[in-house]
Amino acid sequence: MPRAVWNGAVIAESDDTVVVERNHYFPAASVNRALLRDSATHTVCPWKGTARYYDVVVGDAVNRDAAWYYPATTDAAKRIEGRIAFWKGVAVEK
């Protein structure tokens, strides 16, 4: 089962990930929200829409903008709408 791990903590775990551009997008319900903190960062992808970010926080360690999601996608990316993906050293183990 895919799981996202950083700094020894499991951030997300689910058999229901959607892989787009080699990134696993986890269902929001499978993510430990206690390890996420809202970020002010936004980026725009021409085919997916506007992404919003979270910092991943484990203890005193902060991984800025290490998680992202698309709250409202384009029609082409509807299958990842609301799902959360990770990068910046967050390992997705299978």
pLDDT digits (tens, 9 = 90+) for 35-70: 999 999 999 999 999 999 999 999 999 999 999 999
* Amino acid identity for residue 39 in this structure: S
Torsions phi, psi of 75, nearest 5? Answer: -60, -35
Domain count, the chain: 1
pLDDT digits (tens, 9 = 90+) for 22-31: 999 999 999 9
**Banded pLDDT at 88 (limits 50, 70, 90):** very high
Closest of 13, 6, 93, 91 to residue 57, by C-alpha: 6
pLDDT at 57: 98
Parent domain of 35: 3-93
pTM for the structure as a whole: 0.96
Q: Which DSSP letter does residue 72 get?
A: S
Residue 27 belongs to a domain with what CATH number?
Answer: 2.170.150.40
